[in-house]
Amino acid sequence: MTTTLAQPPVFAADDDLSVWPGSTTRLPHEGLAVGGVDLAEIAGRFGTPAYVLDRGEVRERCRAYRAAFPDADILYAAKAFLSRAMVRWIASEGLGLDVCSAGELELAVTAGFPASRIVMHGNAKSPHDLETALRLGVGRIVIDSPSEIAQLAAAVGHRGSQGVMVRVVPGVSAGGHSKIRTGTEDQKFGLSLTDGQAHHAISRVLGQPQLRLTGLHCHIGSQLTDVRPYLVAVRRMVGLMARVRDTQGVVLPELDMGGGHGIAYRPGESTLDIIALSRRLRAELAEACAAARLPVPRLIIEPGRAVVGPAGVALYRVLSVKRTGERTFVAVDGGMSDNPRPALYGVRYAPRLIGRHSTAGTRTATVVGRHCEAGDILAADVGLPGDIRPGDLLAVPVAGAYQLSMASGYNLVGRPPVVAVDDGRARLLVRRETLDDYRARDVGL
């Protein structure tokens, strides 16, 4: 069982690469290579800020999930990070995909991903989202509110039927921050189990011949490192499935338990053990179904962060170093426009000086971005060499999820490129956003 640290360490040992991609190796002069490619060379070739994505790490993590959950459907959560190359990597490893918009869906399908292996989520799907999902033939649409039922049935019309699931709020509070807890009543997602909304919605769906209810869905939160909340949730979901069987005479064949699997952003932090999760979740599901005299449904899980997060590294160039009183601020050429997570959730990273050997002692510093916001902080109170200076290169591990996917156009600095590394080769996946891109969108007065 994983443990939770009461206070994660502020300083990481200089030689601790435990949260870096497995392919990371040390080079002379404090350099680092990922996927056989020198990170300093990537910064020189593609500029900074830049995001590096280890293709081998992504694929290994996909395979680890398939090994841990051999009898489950594994859907990669596209919201963590999506590109055409990522779509192809996921497809080649046999995973399905879950998307939250017509944009994510269209990108995936135009990259060759089978629509039948895609699930569409969203608490407020637009008519365009639903029309696109039906036109492209997604496997399932997750109903998140009562109004979607009639809307979706009308949109299907005489086309036949559409596979759907109902998202249930199981009343489980879990997650690394209040803004990423989605299993309780006081948030926007899903239909309540406790007040009967979920069961009423299920009854309505079953009354629509255009909708084919394949199962139930829940997602209790993100960045979970403890198996126990999943076990509570699965018992409650099976209880609802048994009630549907008893009242509607319908046995549902699928149960989607979402994702939210926690990873370590700094050495020493806890992670969710997916082997333990699989073993205990499947055992709990089998026991609950046996007690309710239900056949065991097909299990579905939706990892996103745990697949791509540890495969990414962000590269920044130091622009200035300012000492104000007892604090040292190290400003870099990126910030909240490419990584809003510290400002949103207060997350903490472990940046590292690379490409230059320093003999100076460690100094407590706060790495800040270049944007006009006091909250533009990338890493507070971290250990960096005391002689950190403009021109130095900082690398931030565990940068693959919910950074570029949540990036903005703030201050028009442009979003960074994504560079894939594997077997000693670097390849541009997503180019840097430029002023020309902004000009092209601005159609004038």
| Active centre residues (catalytic) | 372
Tokens found for residue 33: 């290579």
Cβ-proximal residues to 60 (8 Å cutoff; 6+ apart), any chain: 22
What's the sign of the alpha-carbon dihedral 270, 346, 87, 189? positive
Q: Rounded to the nearest 10 degrees, what angle do helices 228-248 and 274-292 cross at?
A: 30
What's the sign of the alpha-carbon dihedral 276, 279, 283, 286? positive
Rounded Cα distance between 397 and 16, Å, is 12
Q: Rounded to the nearest 10 degrees, what angle do helices 228-248 and 197-206 cross at?
A: 50
Rounded Cα distance between 313 and 306, Å, is 14
CB atoms near residue 317 (< 10 Å): 17
Q: Cα torsion at 231, 166, 296, 61 (round to 10°)?
A: -60
Cβ-proximal residues to 118 (8 Å cutoff; 6+ apart), any chain: 96, 97, 98, 99, 105, 108, 109, 138, 139
Q: What is the CA radius of gyration of the chain?
A: 23
- The conformation of residue 184, written as its DSSP 8-state character, comes to S
SS3 category, 135: helix
Q: Tell me, what amino acid is at 326?
A: E
Nearest Cα residue to 237 out of 178, 285, 275: 285
Residue listed under structure tokens 């507070």 = 380
Rounded Cα distance between 361 and 12, Å, is 14
Rounded Cα distance between 51 and 269, Å, is 23
Residue listed under structure tokens 């697949």 = 307
CB 190 within 8 A of CB 169: yes
DSSP 339-370: --HHHHH------EEESS---SPEEEEEEE-S
